[in-house]
Chain A
Amino acid sequence: MPLTGIEIFKLLPKTNCGRCGEPTCLAFAMKLAAAKAELAACPDISDEVRAKLEEAAAPPIKLVTIGAGNRAFKIGGETVMFRHEKRFENPPGFALLIRDSMDESEISARLERFNQLEYKRVELTLRPELVAVKDESGDRARFEATVSKVKENTDASIILMSPSPDILAAGLKVCAERKPLLYAATRDNLEPVASLARQNSCPVVAKASTLDELARLTTQLTDSGVNDIILDSGARSLRQALEDQILIRSTALSKRFRPLGFPTIVFPGEMTDDPMKEAVIASIFVAKYSGIIVLSDFQGESLFPLLVERMNIYTDPQRPLAITEGIYPVGNPDENSPVLITTNFSLTYFIVSAEIETSKVPSHLLVKDTQGLSVLTAWAGGRFVADTIAPFVKKCGISEMVKHHKLIIPGYTAIESGSLEEELPGWQIMVGPREGAHIPAYLKTWQP
């Protein structure tokens, strides 16, 4: 548990020497408790106390960095079971599986897909992070060659998968600077795999077949100096795998049970042979707590929905996704095209621009900064009312872009139309439909 200011104070030297920049030890303790100071600022703290404070301050689920470079990312660091309690912090990584027994051409095709499958959604780029290279040949040279191919052809973070420490070492040799994730340390190979992880400062997966055994394994790993650990509970039935994901998280959060305080990895492709089913299983683990999801293949039809789902579930409920204020052309609008205004909540923008696209009537869409709030929410909060809309319309430059001066506002803000006409002299305010779905029908009747 995080310590309170008073609890921290009890551990400090209590000399009030002031070298930390605070007048008293108590003041420093309070700042520490609020995470507004660094422990290192006090020169007189004993190692023992330091260890104690660091242990208490450590997050219940370790934040682990996977990979290095372009596609490096962090997982773990989660603090809640339900996103409405606060938010989910670090979205799971998606890994593409490559078996070293595959044909050259198949491997190339997969790597090409890895590189190509990325999507723009509003202002975000959605793409996968990892390639998992699995030793099936039992042949060091073959594994090594496959790993180099992955390294040379992609900027992916890499997972090296083999039961054999020797083969893992061979793969590591080729891609050590990518800080690959080693899969996996088990009861049978713990020491050699742990030492590879230590020597190369790589994260490592601990794999067991029960949670008890998993906890023992991670304790051995941390005792041996390996701290960046990912958990594979070994479950390959859907029911058991879900249960394990939930229990690992709840044990770490509510019992502060350190041995399970790490992110997890799951393998939907080992739970079914049907790619469609695999994708739906993966969607369960996006919502329910996985850190890395390894897929037996990447195809646009399944990767795209998964990436969007991930973005949705990991959106901060208190800080909706927002887009930049401005004028957005939809289609190729000209000086006679309609002008519509909406808020900068990315979902609102997304729906409205899609509906305008559907209408096939090229339009200018004005997007007003409402700090990411939807139309009604922003209106209720006073951020999307005549007083704030009018100045934006004046300064955004739309007046010079169109000959007509007609502004279509969302139906839900009909009540603002009178004041808007007063505050925007020369503009005619038109009340559009309430529902986005009715925009196409409405726009089809547009006359400049």
Chain B
Amino acid sequence: MNLEIPKTAYNGRIKEIRLGKGDKAVTVGGETCYPFYLFEGKMPNLPRIAMEVWDTSPEDWPEAALEPFQGVTGDPVAWARKCVTDFGAEMICLQLVSTDPNGLDRGADEAAAVVKNVAEAITVPLIVWGTANHDKDTEVLRKVAEVNEGRNLILGPVEEGDYKKIGAAAIGYQHTVIASTPIDINLAKQLNILLGNLGVRDELLIIDPTVSSIGYGIEYCYSVMERVRTAALTQQDNKLQYPLICNVAKEVWKTKEAKPPADGALTLGDTRKRGILLEAMSAMVLLLGGGDVLIMRHPEAIRLVQEMITELAAPKNN
């Protein structure tokens, strides 16, 4: 028997999209193979990591996650600057946590002004993430789109319940749309079709499959992402041939496993390292599922994942 290497029958390609503007704009997508199957195809643009910034002081972050950002967590502009200058962030994701109607319920104008200040303070691409409350996101993200006209922000989550108005604003003011559906390949495809019909151009759309962390159903996300990639790359499903974005950090750090154990159990090891590893490993699983953009928090977790990306794509020396 001779060793004969099988080849996946690819017939599709992920669309390339350009996030942000100017020198620091970032291109993602373009893959012609499964994630890191570089013996079969190409990943012309390696996955990128956006660093998370909150628009308000986080109340419930574990110590380990707060520590790197000490002194700036009350000021989104300073925080974003620190991510770029101290940690080399290639992108920023501003989470508009303060607009949550179940929380601070800050208004659209105020939120849009904060986004503008942050956008002006950095040159890297800016992702803006709402609270997944349809009415509030419609109000806030439309305003954000308008006030930041022409910057090519990446706006989300845009869901079936609010895609028309937010989508229209994104088209009108030239921003990229994050099409978000709850862990379901059919729903993802459907929303992409709807957004396409609305007039969102292919190069301005990125899919959010909805993700979770290790221990909280990550297997569903992993499999849905793999199915999206299979359909896109081997079944010519052009409505799924978009890059994937994973808002993973906030899912990880809210879990009890990322915090000091309530019963003080020693078997869980070092709390800081465990939080970092939960974030890095969750991100890694999502990368293997097909993630193109990861929204992450801890600089150490980011470094680890970046090193994985580099090594998985390193030139072969044998």
Contacts and interface: CB of A to CB of B under 8 A. Distances in A.
A305 B5 contact: no
B267 interface: yes
Interface in B173-221: 214-219
Nearest to A243: B39
Interface stretch (A158-166, A189-197, A246-254, A384-392): A246-254
Contacts of B223: 82-84, 317
B4 A251 contact: yes
B254 A437 contact: yes
Contacts of A312: 214-215, 217-219, 222
B274 A309 contact: no
A246 B277 contact: no
Interface string A432-444: 0000011001000
Interface string B209-250: 000001111110011001100100000000000000000000
A312 B1 CA distance: 36
Contacts of A283: 280-281, 284-285
Contacts of B267: 116-119, 300, 304
A3 interface: no
A281 B308 contact: yes
A257 B314 contact: no
- Residue from the set A246, A251, A287 with the largest chain B CB neighbour count within 10 Å: A287
B307 interface: yes
A284 B284 contact: yes
Given A246-B37, A257-B4, A313 B222 contact: yes
A308 interface: yes
Contacts of A212: 3
A299 B272 CA distance: 13
B114 interface: no
Interface in A271-320: 276-277, 279-281, 283-284, 287-288, 299-306, 308-309, 312-313, 315, 317
Contacts of B215: 121, 305, 308, 312, 350
Contacts of B318: 240
Main secondary structure of the interface of A (DSSP, over half): helix
A351 interface: yes
B276 interface: yes
A251 B2 CA distance: 11
A29 interface: no
Nearest to B8: A250
B285 A300 contact: no
B311 A237 contact: yes
24 contacts: A82-B223, A82-B227, A83-B219, A238-B311, A251-B4, A251-B6, A255-B4, A276-B300, A277-B307, A277-B308, A280-B280, A283-B281, A283-B284, A284-B288, A299-B269, A300-B270, A300-B274, A301-B269, A303-B269, A305-B278, A305-B281, A313-B219, A350-B215, A357-B262
